Structure 1
Amino acid sequence: MNIIKNKKIWFSLSLIVIIVGMLLGMIRGYNLGIDFTGGTLIEIQMKDYVESTEIREITDEIDKNATINHIGETKDIIQIRTTENLNNEARMELFKLFKEKYSLEENQPLRSEQFGPAIGKEIQNKAMLSVIIATIGMLIYITFRFQLSYGLSAILALVHDVLFVLSVYAIFRIPLNSPFVAAMLTVVGYSINDTIVVFDRIRENMKHAKKNAYEEVAELSIRQTVSRSINTSLTTLLAIVALYVFGVESIREFTLPLLTGIMIGTYSSIFIASPIWVLIKSKKGNI
């Protein structure tokens, strides 16, 4: 299979996912989690440790996006955070369900309050600014080390990765929380690393290639580095999958965007970045 000659297929697949995701995001909105929306916090003292799945049988009736944590030395205190702003009457009604099911003796939950969003506009703007500064820095670095065409291709591939992951979250209505922001910043750095490996091989092969043989050089370079890229990603994914399967809920919120981002980053470094470089070089020449 010739990756470069079939670039229209890869571009089309990515565009379809991104367009569908962005449209769904605009029409029905993103599923913003507690960190963005604020909500209600309730802490209940249980008699023993209770699995999160069992607790969700009750909380799902009120908020399917509620987060559940176990705190205390014996993990017998459950902390429930809902995106719904429950008034005192609603919070007591929720506590009553737990009291009846688990025969609790307390008349009041340990803690019951409403809270504002942890990620306000200022933090969102700073996160966006950080991504922009990092992107500009990478563009300057790659242009200095390689050429402007490499830098532009790498940045466009990064934009593709971010939009693709956002689209997946919009399509499947996965909650967006603060771990997502941290994970995406990690993915941006990881993705550019894979792309630079391919570009480094392209630069070396260009020294011995015929003039304007961009497609041939890119195809050869991809084939020379693809096993390395896939093996590196697989070893990383194995560790992240283990964290996702065996980790607590807060860990899963961080590892899910990492899983998605690393898979998309590996895909884009092979099927998106290099074909974009070929298009730029074919049209603009020595940039």
Structure 2
Amino acid sequence: MLKKTTLLFTLLIFISFSARAQMERERVVQEGPVEETFWAPGLIGMSTVEVIGHKNINATIMHSFGLINDEPLHNFLGMDFGASVRLGIDYGITDNWSLGVGRSSPQKQYDFRTKYALFRQTTTDNVPLSITLKGDMGIDTNKNGYSFGDRLNFFASANVARKFNDQLSLQVSPMISHFNTVFTGEEKTHFALGLAGEYHISDRYALMAEYLPVLGERSEGTANAFSVGLNIETGGHVFQLFLKTSDWHTEQHIIAQNDDKFWDGDIRFGFNVNRIFWTGEKQ
């Protein structure tokens, strides 16, 4: 009887250690990228490290009104001035690479952009940061007599972010913009350091802010753009309500052609709408 009990006890210990080892192996296999560092591929004007998934489409409406401090009652907090609008579509070529196109109302601007994820923060912190590269080319289609080359502008950034916990994500983005054509007193090239953050106050609401200080030489009158807002996540949509300075929606224009100062009251109300569509086969 003692031998049988000892044998059974030994067998149970062996099974226990085997199960534990199997669970540890499964945990190693299940290590993956951190999900939703940010709720959308962009905050207010800045891009985030988020990349559209494979065969997904993100349709974006970016919308801002006139300055609130310009006779606010008479002009209904800037809404009577009309809106600056960008409509955009981004498609996930792979889980790490997306392409997009957009059209902005200022200067009747078309832009073509791409984003690629170099690294993704992992759940075990073996990779502590997410890093994506973004490039954008814009075309001014106003009837101004310019040649095709003179109409072009460009943007590039490296987005570096970390999700510290379920509430807080922060991002730093070295960036550069270039315009082939500028006027007297303007610089063709601007360098900036984008700073962004998102703080979740619930499963559905998150606060966000971004600041894009220009580094070095800048065009005459150019001011650093600053914005604050609220993210609202509804499942398929992400709504973003915000107060911002620049009426531009592309980063090269935000850092090079913004002359509004947030702390002087040069503030615009606006909103973005992001909607994800899956275009693959039904599972």
Q: What range is the shorter-chain TM-score in?
A: under 0.3
Higher relative contact order (CA 8 A, sep 6+): 1
